Amino acid sequence: MKLKALIVDDEYPARQELRYALSSFDCIEIVGEATNAQEALTLIKALDYQILFLDISMPGMNGLDLGAAIQELPRQPQVIFVTAYDEYAVRAFEVNAVDYLLKPVDQARLKKAVDKVLRKFRELQAAEMVAAEETAVGAAREADVPLRIDRIPAEKYGKTVLVAEGDIVYAFTEQDYVYIKTYADKLFTRFTLKELEARLNPNIFFRTHRCYIVNLHKVKEIVPFFNGTYNLVVDDQENSEVPVSRAQAKKLRRILGF
């Protein structure tokens, strides 16, 4: 798998340094550079880039603004922020960044970030294959009524258990794995968070953050955090807190009417 990459940085030495660091990756093909976010947005609209190495501090539109803008595009490259500033990490992940690297970039750390992008594309390809197969089966069996049960397979003590939707407090990702949290248990599931979102009842479950889905029936308190974000205190044994990104906070306020 070879990914088309775009480097966006207003400093020429920084672009050259990153280009050199990426030259050791056979999976990366650097097909463009941009000196500012507006120029980058034009290139992204014209060419199907799979990965974007993006600085934050640039004249005019900054990298975070560009990250938000590409969320509205039909084709969205995976974004890895490469910056000298550590204080924007939370905001970076609110625009679905895959990773956040600090300059000067460590080669081993860069490899981890690239590996994350590769995993995402493999998952996407696998999901597309499954979707294509399901479409083909659905066309062949158009008259059949699909069976849907409100149970999610998960693993507990080496066994597969079926967790009722009503028992799920929230689902989340942790170190590239996905878990389901019930009142007392944390259970591993082989579904991606996107797959869980598709399976769970959308009238009950809400994607609060790129890493969390919460059962709104299990929310006890809504605690303002910062920059328009919230933490949701949920009804499990630990009274866990589930973060709500700023983008999703607007949707949540509309849903709950506050």
Those residues whose C-beta lies under 8 Å from the C-beta of residue 238, and which sit 6 or more positions away, are none
> Which pLDDT score is estimated for 116?
93
Q: Which residue has the higher pLDDT, 66 or 142?
A: 66
Which of 22-26, 106-110, 144-148 bottoms out in mean pLDDT, i.e. has the lowest? 144-148
- Fold equal for 3-120 and 151-256: no
Nearest-5° Cα angle at 223, 217 to 225:
130
Q: Which residue has the higher pLDDT, 32 or 228?
A: 32
Q: The pTM is what?
A: 0.52
Give the tokens for residue 126.
């696998």
Contact yes or no for 92/56 (Cβ under 8 A): yes
Of all helices (H) and strands (E), which one includes residue 4? strand 3-8
- How many CA atoms within 13 Å lie on the side-chain side of 246? 11
Domain 151-256 sits in CATH at 2.40.50.1020
Q: Which CATH class is domain 3-120?
A: alpha beta
> Which pLDDT score is estimated for 132?
81
Annotated domain spans of the chain? 3-120, 151-256
Average pLDDT score over residue span 88-99:
91
Residue burial 105-118, b: 16+ Cβ < 10 Å; e: rest: beeeebeebbeebb
pLDDT higher than threshold 90 for residue 211: yes
